[in-house]
Amino acid sequence: MTLSGLDIFKLLPKTNCGDCGVPTCMAFAMKLAQKKAELSACPHASEEAKATLGAASEPPIRLVKIGGANALEVGNETVMFRHEKTFVHPTGIAVELRTSDGQAKNLEKIRDVENLTVERVGEALHSDLFFITQDSDNPEDFVHTVEATKQNSRKGIILNCGDNKALEKGLQLLKDDRPAIFLKSRLSEEVIELAKAHEASLILTAQSFEDLGAQSNAAKEAGINNLILNLNSENLGYQMQNNAILRRSALKQSFKSFGHPLFSYTKGENSHGILAHASMQICKYGSIIVLPEYDKAMLYTLFTLRQNIYTDPQKPIQVEPKIYPIGEPTPESPVFVTTNFSLTYFMVSGEIENSGISAHLVITDCEGQSVLTAWAAGKFVGEKIAKFIKDIKLEEQVKTRKIVIPGLVSQISGDLEENLPGWEVIVGCQEASDIPSFVKNVQLT
């Protein structure tokens, strides 16, 4: 909710003391409304003013952190659709550890998850959290699992334990690690106290909007603001509707009870169903998803989807400018050059690969722009390409003195030849998909 200057003025002391650096309270109120000043500048502000203004300046969806030094941050989202601006904090991916699986199996799982990092377009992709579930007879198993996780991993931890004594022991082990407590049933006084004492976030579970709102309000009244919401439904269609409704209420109606990140434990009849469920949650507003198993192919798929959906639409994904070997090139293999827009790179490298030949693909730095855009902006022109080729010492790595440029920028060929003495420029095809036939019909080296 936004407050007008006049709304704010009514909350100020109206003494025009000038201690805030602005001559009158009215002028200060106007600055506050425009977010050009902060209320803390006024030493005489009342508690009421602080509370009201504080609430109005809070982000519509609260930022929640889970974990110690490398804490996962979720929330703070401001749009319904990524094209409106961007999604900010990528979905946190948690892998579940169940005490019933036994210590040996869980230890192996912890190490596997901890060690899995996959690189894609220059980003290191990995999971973020462990979700520890107490489902064996002995509550001590839970404490041991938390301990093993803490010893072998630096990822954040969500605790799912029905036994409050074991939960408390787990929380004690995670001092300074900002854990989260997952509540399977309704919020209780006891859990509120535990969360407060150990500075843990709470993941609230409810079956209806009303109950979820009531629990959210109760937790806030007790002083816990780091909340994550789990509006439970077995049906994926309801989940998607619930997520849309919660997000919309928070963003468009400033409905504070629902202004928190969303949680989902992924379920499915088999691993494919789980993947389908997780994919939907990543696309539509899930801030934390839990996967029951460690499955590399599934994680890699979800990492990639998350990277795609959370990419800023204003900033294209770039690949590192350098010489990429396609197939198994020798110094005699042909040379292609294009820009470092990730899609351009993927298309061109894929089609060269499909053509069956090996080649050197030179990717120049065009700040992630596509061929025509980069050319229009003067980033993919003869002089710049020639300089890059000299900088990376291409001449020492290949014997050929022919270079293929994208057909869309045939106009730069003369310029490039001038800047690159000794080289012959070949104008390639306009579309990457025509590369396989192009390489068949043209002498490339």
Residues that bind other proteins (CB under 8 A): 81-83, 116-118, 120, 209-210, 213-214, 217, 235-238, 240-241, 244-245, 248-249, 252-253, 255, 257, 269, 271-273, 275-277, 279-280, 282-284, 295-302, 304-305, 307-309, 311, 313, 343, 346-347, 350, 353-354, 433, 436-437, 440
Between helix 164-173 and helix 140-152 the angle, nearest 10°, is: 20
CA dist., res. 117 & res. 157, Å (int): 18
Q: For residue 148, is it left (φ>0), alpha (ψ between -120 and 50) or beta?
A: alpha
The least distance separating other proteins from the CB of residue 437, rounded to whole angstroms, comes to: 5
Q: Which is nearer to other proteins, 19 or 108 (CB)?
A: 108
**74-101 b/e (C-beta count within 10 Å ≥ 16 → b):** bbbbeeeebeeeebbbbbbbbbbbbbeb
Between CA 40 and CA 32 the distance in angstroms is 11
Measured from the CB atom, the residue of 82 and 402 that comes closer to other proteins is: 82
The residue among 387 and 440 lying less far from other proteins, judged by its C-beta, is: 440
Least Å distance, CB 81 to other proteins, is 5
Nearer to other proteins, 103 or 217 (CB): 217
Q: How far is the CB of 216 from other proteins (least distance, A)?
A: 9
Q: What are phi and psi of 42, to 5 degrees?
A: -95, 110
Kindly state the smallest distance separating residue 388's Cβ from other proteins, in Å.
Answer: 25
- Min dist CB 159 to other proteins, Å, is 27
Nearest to other proteins of 69, 297 (CB atom): 297
How many C-beta neighbours within 10 Å does residue 109 have? Answer: 20
Which of 393, 387, 310 shows the shortest CA–CA distance to 125? 310
Nearer to other proteins, 188 or 253 (CB): 253
d(CA 66, CA 127): 13
- Give 352 or 416: the residue with its C-beta nearer to other proteins: 352
Q: How far is the CB of 386 from other proteins (least distance, A)?
A: 30
- Give dist(CA 356, CA 71) in Å, integer: 45
Nearest distance in Å: CB 324, other proteins? 13
Closest by CA to 403, choosing from 379, 374, 382, 378, is 382
